[in-house]
Structure 1
Amino acid sequence: MPRFLIYHDIGASEISVQSLQHYLQVHKKYSVRLCKGKDLQNPSWLSQTNYLIMPGGRSLPFYAALGDHGNRNIKQFVMQGGCYLGFCAGAYYASKNTIFAKGLPLSLYLKGELNFFQGDAVGPVLNPEKFAYDSETGKIITDIHLPKGNKTYSVYLNGGCSFSQASQAANTEILAWYNDNHQPAIIACKVAQGCAILSGVHPELSDQETCHAIMIMMLNRSVQLCSGFA
């Protein structure tokens, strides 16, 4: 049975954490533990985990919570065959650069610490003028298209990103596209023996059918990419 670790510390959205935990424990019966940034700074979790989930929320506090030791352990975990799952803030954090709300009052530019995706996470991808932290004012339900199976799903989005240069980036596969602007919405990055699967959208906050379909797609692809699951 796969073992999941979900970051539950500063920057993490409580509803994102709870929804991910509920889906994995109740619907899939997987082993799930919550962790703090200081837990990830201790390498003891590396041998006890198949998936590390960085949930939605705000990525800026992740830098302080994880620090050099936490980031080093996360990179080692993935390179040795584990899977990093990043949703919204967790996807920004795993990218080479964060370009957020460019030209707007909340404008933010951050260099990545993990760099699993060798490109820019750019957002809010839709409705940027209405976005506000800790608010639903900028949320929308938008359609994404999964090329495999030619399926379209309506998903929750609130400040999430697209992945610039994903089609040209090495070891990167686009798993879903935004219908509105044809930008990448979900990507998979092969990293040494492991992988990072990054989502600008929130399947865990979408309707049950959509959540299940997208989560299963992401988990299935991770099994194919990560040697640690062999």
Structure 2
Amino acid sequence: MLMLKTILTSLGDFLYLHAPMSRQKTIFVYNGEGSLKNSLQMLLRGLQSTVDSSVHNVLTITPEDIIKGSWAKDAAAICFGGGYDLGFIRALGPVGIRNIRDYVYRGGSYLGICAGAYFGCEHIYFDEGGKLEVCGERDLKFFPGFCRGPVYPGFQYNSEVGAKAAPIKVLPENCLYPELKIPIYFNGGGFFDFLPPDKVCSNPSAQAKILACYDDVEDQPIAIIKTKFGLGQTLLTGVHVEFDPHMLDESDFTLSTFVEELKNHNDKRIQLFKKLLQHINLVTKS
């Protein structure tokens, strides 16, 4: 009996050690107050078409579930797309925001695009002195500085009036990508300004890597940046690298003026998006 028990124990150990294990970890995309429907759909589609589905699921997550906190153990990343960050703050409250911050600090990944990028900075200065002004300190503080915007004038909520094809310059030394200039969909995003303020792309930082700059703006301020936060990493971008121009409404007058330009560069946008996701340890399709 003792020998049989030993054999069964060894067999059990063997089966456990060699059992097929799911490698999938979930990329969570915020869906709640502050998230705009079109931006949410673009981000979901962009991630689903870009990441390796054998490694990552892509699912939405509510503010209530973020507050509960159990999501963190299964997360490959948490993502916040376009919208308005005051909505994020109201819905998440201090507990939800702390859970995100703790998750990244312990080794997680955060992707913030447009409103999600403002949300991830230490300070936000949006339309300062204007009708849409939103200025103040933020609690995530993944980027130790300011996010200032909109970079280009004319932004209106729930409208494409202020949208444009923003030419960005990708920096090869930090982005693992050949230097190139590429137009990317933009609507209300900001640029990143170090503390003390320094808009120049060559500004060194031990905790941040500048990946791309706005190419047609004075002093070429930072458009995309990667930061280290504790054991984790974040990717913050003022331009919508996730937007597929083929999904834009070409009947909209503003979009019709530049959508073909975006389509002509879409293959490069997809490759850039892959490289950016790899910066936060996500596995992309080959």
> What TM-score results when the alignment is normalised by the length of structure 2?
0.74
Give the superposition deviation at 1:26.
Answer: 3.5
Q: Aligned to 1:147, which of 171, 194, 197? A: 171
In proportion to residue count, which structure has more strand? 1
2:193 corresponds in structure 1 to 164
Aligned: 1:85 with 2:123: no
1:184 corresponds in structure 2 to 222
| 3-state SS, counterpart of residue 50 of structure 1 | strand
Separation in structure 2 between the aligned mates of residue 48 and residue 35 of structure 1, nearest angstrom:
12
2:80 corresponds in structure 1 to 54
Aligned-CA RMSD value: 1.6
Question: In structure 2, what residue type is equivalent to 1:150?
Answer: E
Q: Deviations over 1:41-90 (max 9, x none)?
A: 01100101011001111111111111111111101110111100000000
Separation in structure 2 between the aligned mates of residue 68 and residue 188 of structure 1, nearest angstrom:
24
| 3-state SS, counterpart of residue 242 of structure 2 | helix
2:40 corresponds in structure 1 to 17
| 3-state SS, counterpart of residue 52 of structure 1 | strand
Corresponding residue pairs, total: 222
Give the superposition deviation at 1:33.
Answer: 1.0
1:227 corresponds in structure 2 to none
Give the superposition deviation at 1:27.
Answer: 4.2
Alpha-carbon contact 1:144-1:152 (below 8 Å) kept: yes
Separation in structure 2 between the aligned mates of residue 170 and residue 120 of structure 1, nearest angstrom:
17
1:133 corresponds in structure 2 to 157
Separation in structure 2 between the aligned mates of residue 210 and residue 9 of structure 1, nearest angstrom:
31
Give the superposition deviation at 1:210.
Answer: 4.2
Q: Aligned to 1:217, which of 275, 279, 284? A: 275
Inter-CA distance 197–112: structure 2 relative to 1 (3 Å threshold): same
Q: Deviations over 1:162-209 (max 9, x none)?
A: 001173554011010100120100000101110111000001224442
Alpha-carbon contact 1:88-1:159 (below 8 Å) kept: yes
Give the superposition deviation at 1:134.
Answer: 1.0
Separation in structure 2 between the aligned mates of residue 161 and residue 143 of structure 1, nearest angstrom:
14
Question: In structure 2, what residue type is equivalent to 1:175?
Answer: L
Aligned: 1:99 with 2:125: yes
Separation in structure 2 between the aligned mates of residue 16 and residue 211 of structure 1, nearest angstrom:
17
Separation in structure 2 between the aligned mates of residue 185 and residue 2 of structure 1, nearest angstrom:
28
Separation in structure 1 between the aligned mates of residue 49 and residue 227 of structure 2, nearest angstrom:
28
| 3-state SS, counterpart of residue 17 of structure 1 | helix
> Structure 2 regions of 5+ residues with no counterpart?
1-23, 173-177, 246-265
- Structure 1 residue ranges (4+ consecutive) displaced by more than 4 angstroms after TM superposition: none
Give the superposition deviation at 1:217.
Answer: 1.7
| 3-state SS, counterpart of residue 280 of structure 2 | helix
User: Which of these two proteins has the greater Rg computed from alpha carbons?
Assistant: 2
> Structure 1 regions of 5+ residues with no counterpart?
225-230
Alpha-carbon contact 1:119-1:169 (below 8 Å) kept: no
Separation in structure 2 between the aligned mates of residue 51 and residue 158 of structure 1, nearest angstrom:
24
